């Protein structure tokens, strides 16, 4: 197996709330001015990524997962565990909630649950989002929904570019108008709508709500998961660890000149969110630019990134187990 990155072509999903920021900011060839989602690294059947170059050109990520488990360090999962998206919320998304693994497996045909997290890439000056609710028990939660007391029920928080939010399954949430987000999540496409502002689809029909399931899976009372980013400064840049939890660990690599890195995860997912540069491995050098998405395979232990650029990277974790952090290796190499 070559110790080379696997670059993936993004796939786009039109949404009633989507816009054209994915084209404006990343130069993507989007299908319309209502494009809401870039599925950047995905093996989910509703939007599989395709390898864009190299030995596996034309293969889907799902095919690679099944046919070449060595690329992923034989990670113990029947399905590729994560999904990376960029979301363009040109309008408010529906108020929604996602199930956990146990519920989704039973009621959604073996689907993963959906714990996710957001890095705010860009947003309007006064942008907000819905994050959590104020109900203290299920009875109060149901009564406030039945009465349409949305302003009393829903918690709205201010957001800024660079903010990071961890959104476990069971969390009531919604991105709001004027927000561009990179999302790292479990590989799932299960969403339960609680409220959709009485919007109608292209055929004039009200969009479906999933109140019974939403009420069952929502965490009541709401629990806010505290995010405490950990910064490590090193020669040529820095690494921020945003979250390390049951399903994934998420980092931001801020390359100022040149960073030499080592990874001890099964594999890494990476997305260039700003700037341009070069990825250097034993196999060669690979140009990086804003909007690129790639996977670093299991045996690619060491690499360099040169240039001025920022990347969001992640790797899967086994639920309930402890994993070594990438920054533990970075710390050994840092000039601090």
For residue 198, what are the CA distances in angstroms to 89, 132, 195, 202, 234?
Answer: 17, 21, 8, 13, 50
Which residue, among 327, 187, 198, 185, has the nearest Cα to 259 in the 3D structure? 327
Q: Could you give phi then psi for residue 202, rounded to 5 degrees?
A: -65, -20
Two tokens, residue 277: 């540069």
- Residue partners of 64: CB distance under 8 A and separation at least 6: 6, 43, 51, 56, 71
Whole-angstrom Cα distance, residue 221 to residue 326? 34
Sheet holding 35-41, edge to edge: 11-19, 35-41, 82-89, 179-186, 116-123, 164-167
Whole-angstrom Cα distance, residue 263 to residue 247? 18
- Residue partners of 289: CB distance under 8 A and separation at least 6: 272, 275, 276
Neighbours of 152 (CB within 10 A): 11
Residue 193 falls in the annotated catalytic set: yes
Pair type for strands 6-9 and 50-51:
antiparallel
Q: From the candidates 193, 207, 324, 331, which is the catalytic residue?
A: 193
Whole-angstrom Cα distance, residue 139 to residue 284? 60
Which of the residues are catalytic? 193
């Amino acid at each position: 197996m070559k110790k080379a990155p696997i670059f993936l072509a993004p796939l786009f999903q039109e949404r009633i709330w989507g816009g054209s920021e994915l084209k404006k900011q990343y130069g993507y060839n989007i299908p319309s001015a209502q494009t809401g989602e870039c599925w950047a690294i995905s093996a989910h059947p509703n939007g599989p990524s395709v390898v864009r170059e190299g030995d596996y050109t034309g293969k889907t990520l799902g095919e690679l997962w099944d046919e070449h488990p060595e690329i992923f360090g034989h990670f113990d999962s029947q399905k590729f565990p994560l999904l990376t998206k960029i979301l363009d919320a040109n309008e408010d998304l529906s108020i929604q909630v996602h199930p956990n693994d146990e519920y989704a497996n039973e009621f959604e045909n073996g689907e993963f649950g959906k714990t996710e997290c957001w890095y705010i890439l860009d947003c309007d000056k006064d942008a907000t989002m819905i994050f959590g609710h104020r109900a203290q028990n299920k009875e109060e939660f149901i009564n406030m929904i039945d009465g349409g007391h949305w302003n009393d029920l829903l918690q709205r928080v201010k957001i800024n570019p660079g903010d990071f939010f961890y959104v476990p399954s069971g969390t009531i949430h919604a991105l709001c108008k004027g927000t561009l987000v990179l999302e790292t999540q479990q590989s799932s496409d299960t969403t339960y709508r609680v409220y959709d502002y009485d919007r109608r689809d292209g055929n004039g029909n009200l969009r479906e709500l999933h109140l019974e399931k939403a009420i069952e899976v929502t965490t009541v009372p709401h629990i806010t998961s505290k995010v405490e980013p950990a910064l490590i400064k090193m020669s040529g840049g820095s690494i921020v660890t945003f979250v390390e939890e049951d399903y994934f660990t998420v980092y931001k690599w801020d390359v100022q000149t040149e960073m030499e890195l080592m990874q001890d995860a099964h594999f890494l997912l990476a997305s260039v969110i700003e700037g341009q540069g070069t990825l250097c491995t034993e196999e060669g050098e690979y140009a990086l630019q804003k909007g690129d998405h790639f996977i670093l395979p299991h045996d690619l232990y060491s690499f360099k990134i040169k240039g001025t650029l920022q990347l969001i990277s992640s790797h899967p974790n086994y639920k309930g187990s402890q994993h070594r952090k990438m920054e533990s290796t970075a710390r050994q190499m840092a000039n601090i």
